[in-house]
């Protein structure tokens, strides 16, 4: 099987619709080469082959008389290191930050003691292949959380350092952006990189940051005068970007953070310190050149990146408080705690903290150290240790006691034994609570090293193993990642320890056995995605009544069917859609023999949904059509005023859509339905058919040529089109498809879902719904013509949208609290609440709703599927949604 790797070049010829990249194929014989190249970023591959521009590699390939892709493969073969590696060797290579060099996003910020994405993936694949939701209590540069998100799960994390938090958030943001947005940001970053000196030199310096520098660091310079001014100017420029274009601003700041230390008089060698004369003699890079390089790297990685099917979620600053902040359980915990090596992680990032305005005084560093795990000699205070000793239920470790006693006898500094003792107390506060966070059968994988102080070996891994085994964890495997030496030559090691937490199996409550069986359907749904397979994947799949009236934002019927089959009993169930729109989910439930209810506050949507759910008397339908025909015939010569509709103009004046005689017939029909609301299934199907034929791009429509979903500005000649003729044709098409619809009926309510629900909607087997996606479709503008026909006047378009959830949720998701509260009241015990939402660059709705929902219901599961491949139905702006997310709650 042939595989390929796409390498991004900024000058690669492109239509602008796809990635600007050269796709290099690899045959089966080149499998090892492909495996080497696959995880590398385009930036790294370009450095590897020695060509940064596509035009240069074209010329070189032509000179060598080779096709470009073959020439690139030749270069890669020469420069790649393709030695077979055992599993342990792989772990050894990938367990350090260096092991991950070349991976997209990994080189944005050089983190001390970080590990590679491949290292995390290998741990998951080897020890917990089914793990999806993963926690990292000490997240550092974010690798574990990001890998979990890329695998379709949730990467929960804790990180106390604000600089690291900022970088993690930037990386997570990169994985939420749509392809279009990544290209836009990459293009802007390249522009800034090319003109960095000019753009920054025209910006005023941030004088407040200058003052803070002196307060926090004193008078000794950290930069050359030119670089210092450039950094202060870059801060002001970053502020402007963050105000005008927050996404661009975030990545620009990361670019600056990446080059602060390399352009200073400081160097990281374990701790951050001033360079010595020998190091200074090698020269210090130009801030502008380093920044340009950083921005180009980030831009290139943005092109390489793909939208993650999962997400990351920050849990807490302090790892010791995770158990109080995280309300769900995870499949695995993968982490690398602070090493007991004296490294001051905050001093190492003090310049970055200053630039981010998180460090204003020297005392701020003390504040951060007090909030962190004790791991350095400067972290120790007498008061902190005394308080730690007071905590009851401290674990007892003979090994720790012996180590501390020996250190008390020989250590050159009394703070060393105090540091060691306090380190393990702090770690116990974290590790002792992990059983509360881990699912049965979950694993803990810890990457850690031991230490030597004053000639005394501190067996960190062994003491932590004692600690974990005291909480019913069992050490399953230990892999040596790296052999090291202490300063006095004593052997040290870095290891990966894998622990498994086992509990007694729990018996199944018979009362919930039916619900448990339904989870099998959910699992099948999320693993097979049936709506993307076979006939169900076709755009026109489903009953023709789903096309009773075109509607912007309508859920795909195949998704509705799949969710009904996954969560409902075989037949005879009761289901509610709290945001039913035109009734796609309730109608699919009816087709499967269930009683279905739907809520909406759009009068157009309620009527369309009512036609699909409620009982229809076809004789009454015919009588209504006759009545409308008679009314139009008698009233058409009495010209109605169009003054009230002159102010309704979204994609053009309403009058411009129709021939004047057709418009008169529409006004007559509208007046009739304003006086005779479609409150039954019989009148609703006529009303829904009328809404459908209002506008479109085919002869069935009353309008000039427009779009059938959203009435864009019309084109073509205005010709008279008989309303009653087209209305009868549409209704007859509905009648011909009605025979196979079950006689089980439901009900559509004009209902604000945040208010008290009707009493009749109770004893529900499930609530299955798809709320408006955040800041995506604006239903009142997308469906404006149908809302007008349903009774809205010009002023309604100014006032009523404020009642719509798609507008209200922009201010706060708290409006969902009453929805979940009432769901808890109306569901049967064991009933399920499934939510289908969209994830975009602007908001992770699933994360927001999970936090609210689990206060009222048991959160069971979630997953995500990419929709960047989906068609747009000719609508240019379909929002920024990159993934569909599904959440499942249960009433226990």
The string of pLDDT tens digits covering residues 74-91 is 898 887 765 545 555 444
| Helix ranges restricted to H, 577-655 | 584-591, 603-613, 618-635
Report whether pLDDT(863) > 90: no
H-helix or E-strand containing 855?
Answer: none
Instruction: Report yes or no: 362 and 188 within 8 Å, Cβ to Cβ.
Output: no
C-alpha–C-alpha distance, residues 200 and 703, integer Å: 54
pLDDT band at 375 (very low <50, low <70, confident <90, very high): confident
Distance (Å, rounded) from C-alpha 682 to C-alpha 564? 26
- Helix pair 460-469, 415-431: axis angle to 10 deg: 40
Give the C-alpha separation, 544 to 689, whole Å.
13
Q: Decide if 327 contacts 284 (C-beta within 8 A).
A: no
- 3-class DSSP assignment, residue 432: coil
Measured between alpha carbons, how far is 448 from 338 in angstroms, rounded to an integer?
8
Please answer whether residues 750 and 759 qualify as being in contact, where contact means their C-beta atoms are separated by less than 8 angstroms.
no
Q: Which residue has the tokens 């199907």?
A: 685
Task: Give every CB contact of residue 752 below 8 A, 6+ residues apart in sequence.
Answer: 599, 601, 803
Q: Judge whether 561 and 542 are in contact, CB under 8 Å.
A: yes
| Cα–Cα distance, 200 to 212 (Å, whole number) | 21
SS3 411: coil
Least reliable range by pLDDT among 351-355, 394-398, 441-445? 394-398
Pairing of strands 21-26, 134-136: unpaired
CA gap 156, 508 in Å, rounded: 29
Mean pLDDT of 123-148: 94
pLDDT at residue 644 is higher than 90: no
CB 715 within 8 A of CB 701: no
* CATH code for the part of the protein at 516-890: 3.40.50.150
Tally the residues of the chain. Answer: 892
Highest mean pLDDT among 17-31, 247-261, 339-353, 536-550: 247-261
Which among 268, 334, 434, 424 is positioned nearest to 131, based on CA atoms?
A: 334
Average pLDDT of the segment spanning 418-427: 92
| CA 115 – CA 93 distance, rounded (Å) | 9
Residue 436 CB partners (closer than 8 Å, separation 6+):
323
Instruction: Decide if 678 contacts 549 (C-beta within 8 A).
Output: no
Mention every residue, 6+ apart, whose C-beta is less than 8 A from residue 641: none
Domain-by-domain residue ranges, the chain?
1-84, 86-162+311-338+373-502, 179-307, 516-890
Q: In the chain, what percentage of residues exceed pLDDT 70?
A: 90
Cα–Cα distance between 203 and 240 in angstroms, integer? 10
Q: Is residue 551 predicted with pLDDT exceeding 90?
A: no
Predicted local confidence at residue 764, as pLDDT: 98
pLDDT at 342: 64
How far, CA to CA in Å, does 814 sit from each of 34, 580, 820?
A: 49, 20, 10
Query: What angle is formed at CA 827 by the lines to CA 824 and CA 831, rounded to 5 degrees?
Result: 105
**Which pair of structure tokens corresponds to residue 401?**
């006691």
For residues 69 and 75, what is the distance between their CA atoms, to the nearest angstrom? 10
- Residue 573 confidence (pLDDT): 96
Neighbouring C-alpha atoms within 13 Å toward the C-beta of 410: 12
The DSSP output letter for 580 is -
HEC states along 120-152?
HHHHHHHHCCCCCCEEECCCCCCHHHHHHHHCC
CA-based nearest residue to 734, from 790, 679, 693? 693
Cα–Cα–Cα angle for 138, 134, 465, rounded to 5 degrees? 60
* Pairwise CA distance, residues 799 & 429, whole Å: 53
Contact present, 312 and 148 (Cβ < 8 Å): yes
Residues with Cβ within 8 Å of 818's Cβ and at least 6 positions away in sequence, in order, are 754, 755
pLDDT band at 403 (very low <50, low <70, confident <90, very high): very high
Q: How far apart are CA 433 and CA 438, in angstroms?
A: 9
Task: Report the C-alpha gap between 778 and 797 in whole angstroms.
Answer: 12
Does residue 506 surpass a pLDDT of 60? no
Mean pLDDT computed over every residue of the chain: 88
**Of residues 206 and 110, which shows the higher confidence score?**
206
pLDDT at residue 517, rounded to an integer: 56
- pLDDT at residue 112, rounded to an integer: 56
pLDDT tens string 628-641: 999 999 998 888 88
- Note the pTM of the prediction, 2 decimals: 0.66
Query: Residue 526 in contact with residue 886, Cβ under 8 Å?
Result: yes
Element (H, E) at 210: helix 207-217
CATH number of 86-162+311-338+373-502: 3.40.50.150
Flag the least confident range among 74-78, 182-186, 318-322: 74-78
Sorted by sequence, the CB contacts under 8 Å of residue 423 that are 6+ apart come out as 340, 373, 374, 375
Backbone φ, ψ for residue 580 (5° rounding): -80, -15
Q: Angle CA(195)–CA(200)–CA(201) in degrees, nearest 5?
A: 105
- The neighbour count for residue 628, using CB atoms within 10 Å, is 21
**Which pLDDT score, from 0 to 100, does residue 98 have?**
44
Cα three-residue angle 237-193-256, rounded to 5 degrees: 50
- The residue assigned the tokens 């009707």 is 758
Q: Return the higher-pLDDT residue of 334 and 45.
A: 334
Distance (Å, rounded) from C-alpha 37 to C-alpha 44? 9
Find the mean pLDDT for residues 356-376: 87
Residues ≥6 apart with Cβ < 8 Å to 597: 574, 575, 576, 577, 580, 586, 746, 747, 748, 749, 760, 761
pLDDT at 88 (0 to 100): 52
pLDDT of residue 82: 55
CB atoms within 10 A of CB 634: 10
DSSP assignments along 800-822, one per residue: GGGGSHHHHTTT-GGGGHHHHHH
Of the listed ranges 34-38, 558-562, 741-745, the least confidently predicted one is 34-38
Q: Is the pLDDT of residue 483 over 50?
A: yes
Residue tagged 């800034």 (tokens): 192
Per the CB < 8 A criterion, the answer to whether 222 and 351 are in contact is yes
Alpha-helical runs (H) found in 222-331 = 225-244, 246-260, 277-281, 287-304, 322-325
Q: What letter does residue 357 receive in the DSSP assignment? A: T
The DSSP result for 66-82, as a single string, is --HHHHHHHHHHHHS--
Rounded Cα gap, residues 390 and 577, in angstroms? 54
CATH topology identical between 86-162+311-338+373-502 and 516-890: yes
* Residues 234/199, Cβ–Cβ less than 8 Å: no
- Cα 579 from Cα 804, distance rounded (Å): 11
Cα distances from 829 to residues 514, 576, 817, in angstroms, run 11, 15, 19
pLDDT-derived band at 199, boundaries 50, 70, 90: very high
Owner of token pair 């205005």: 718
Residue reference for tokens 């002001």 = 236
Write the DSSP string, 406-473.
HHHHH-SSTHHHHHHHHHHHHHHHHHTTGGGTEEEEEEEEEEEE-EEETTEEE-HHHHHHHHHHTTTE
Q: Is 204 exposed, middle or buried (0-12, 13-18, 19+ CB in 10 A)?
A: exposed
pLDDT of residue 657: 96
Interatomic CA distance for residues 505 and 507, integer angstroms: 7
Q: Is the Cα dihedral 487, 489, 490, 493 positive or negative?
A: positive
């Amino acid at each position: 099987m042939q595989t390929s790797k796409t390498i991004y070049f900024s000058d690669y010829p492109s239509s602008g619709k796809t990635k600007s990249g050269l796709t290099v194929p690899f045959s089966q014989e080149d499998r090892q080469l492909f495996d080497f190249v696959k995880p590398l970023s385009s930036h790294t591959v370009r450095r590897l082959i020695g060509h940064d521009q596509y035009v240069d590699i074209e010329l070189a390939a032509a000179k060598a008389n080779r096709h470009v892709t073959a020439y690139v493969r030749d270069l890669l073969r020469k420069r790649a290191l393709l030695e077979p590696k055992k599993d342990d060797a792989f772990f050894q290579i990938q367990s350090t930050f260096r092991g991950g060099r070349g991976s997209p996003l990994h080189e944005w910020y050089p983190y001390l003691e970080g590990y590679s994405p491949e290292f995390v993936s290998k741990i998951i694949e080897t020890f917990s292949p089914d793990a999806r939701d993963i926690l990292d209590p000490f997240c550092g540069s974010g690798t574990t959380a990001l890998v979990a998100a890329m695998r379709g799960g949730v990467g929960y994390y804790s990180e106390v350092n604000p600089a690291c938090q900022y970088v993690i958030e930037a990386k997570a943001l990169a994985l939420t952006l749509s392809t279009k947005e990544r290209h836009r940001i990459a293009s802007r970053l390249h522009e800034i990189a090319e003109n960095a000196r000019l753009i920054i030199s025209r910006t005023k310096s941030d004088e407040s940051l200058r003052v803070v520098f002196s307060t926090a660091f004193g008078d000794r310079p950290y930069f050359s005068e030119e670089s210092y001014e450039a950094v202060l100017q870059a801060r002001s420029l970053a502020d402007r970007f963050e105000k005008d274009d927050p996404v661009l601003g975030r990545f620009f700041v990361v670019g600056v953070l990446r080059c602060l230390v390399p352009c200073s008089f400081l160097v990281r060698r374990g701790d951050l310190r001033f360079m010595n004369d020998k190091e200074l003699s090698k020269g210090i890079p130009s801030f502008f050149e380093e920044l340009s390089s950083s921005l180009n790297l980030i831009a290139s990685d943005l092109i390489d990146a793909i939208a993650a099917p999962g997400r990351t979620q920050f849990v807490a600053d302090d790892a010791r408080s995770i158990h109080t902040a995280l309300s769900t359980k995870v499949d695995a915990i993968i982490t690398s705690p602070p090493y007991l090596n004296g490294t001051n992680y905050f001093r190492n990032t003090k310049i970055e903290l200053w630039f981010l305005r998180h460090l204003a005084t020297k005392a701020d560093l003390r504040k951060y150290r007090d909030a962190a795990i004790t791991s350095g000699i400067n972290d120790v205070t007498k008061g902190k240790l005394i308080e730690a000793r007071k905590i009851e239920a401290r674990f007892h470790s003979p090994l720790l006691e012996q180590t501390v006693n020996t250190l008390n006898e020989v250590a050159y500094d009394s703070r060393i034994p105090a540091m060691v003792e306090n380190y393990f107390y702090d770690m116990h506060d974290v590790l002792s609570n992990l059983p509360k966070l881990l699912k049965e059968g979950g694993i803990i994988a810890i990457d850690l090293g031991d230490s030597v102080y004053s000639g005394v070996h501190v067996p960190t891994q062994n003491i932590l193993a004692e600690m974990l085994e005291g909480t019913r964890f069992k050490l399953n495997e230990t892999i040596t990642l790296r052999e090291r030496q202490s300063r006095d030559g004593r052997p040290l090691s870095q290891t990966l320890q894998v622990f498994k937490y086992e509990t007694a199996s729990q018996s199944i409550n018979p009362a919930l056995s039916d619900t448990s069986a339904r989870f099998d359907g959910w699992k099948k749904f999320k693993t097979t995605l049936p709506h993307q397979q076979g006939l169900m994947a076709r755009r026109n799949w489903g009953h023709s009544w789903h096309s009773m009236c075109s509607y912007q934002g309508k859920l795909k019927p195949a998704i509705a069917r799949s969710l009904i089959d996954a969560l409902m009993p075989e037949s005879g169930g009761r289901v509610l859609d709290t945001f039913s729109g035109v009734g796609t989910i309730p109608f699919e439930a009816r087709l499967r023999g269930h009683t279905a209810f739907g809520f909406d506050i759009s009068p157009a949507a309620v009527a369309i949904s009512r036609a699909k759910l409620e009982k229809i008397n076809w004789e009454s339908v015919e009588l209504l059509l006759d009545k409308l025909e008679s009314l139009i015939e008698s009233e058409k010569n009495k010209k109605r005023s169009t003054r009230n509709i002159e102010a309704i103009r979204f994609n053009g004046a309403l009058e411009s859509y129709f021939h004047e005689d057709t418009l008169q017939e529409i006004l007559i029909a509208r007046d009739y339905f304003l006086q005779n609301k479609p409150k039954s299934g019989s009148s609703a199907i006529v009303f829904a058919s009328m809404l459908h034929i209002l506008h479109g791009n085919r002869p069935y429509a009353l309008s000039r040529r427009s779009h059938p979903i959203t009435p864009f500005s019309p084109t073509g000649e205005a010709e008279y089109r008989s309303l009653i003729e087209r209305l009868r044709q549409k209704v007859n098409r509905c009648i011909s498809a009605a025979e196979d619809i079950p006689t089980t009926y439901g009900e559509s309510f004009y209902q604000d879902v945040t208010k008290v629900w009707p009493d009749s909607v109770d004893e529900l087997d499930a609530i299955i719904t798809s709320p408006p996606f955040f800041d995506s479709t604006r239903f009142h503008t997308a469906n404006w013509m149908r809302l007008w026909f349903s009774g809205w006047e010009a002023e309604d378009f100014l006032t009523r949208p404020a009642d719509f959830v798609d507008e209200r949720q922009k201010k706060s998701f708290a409006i969902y609290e009453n929805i979940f509260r009432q769901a808890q009241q109306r569901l049967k015990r064991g009933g399920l609440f499934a939510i289908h939402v969209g994830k975009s660059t602007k908001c992770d709705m699933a994360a927001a709703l999970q936090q609210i929902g689990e206060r009222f219901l048991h959160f069971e599961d979630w997953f995500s599927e990419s929709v960047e491949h989906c068609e747009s139905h000719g609508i240019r702006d379909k929002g920024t949604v990159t993934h569909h997310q599904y959440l499942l709650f249960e009433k226990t």
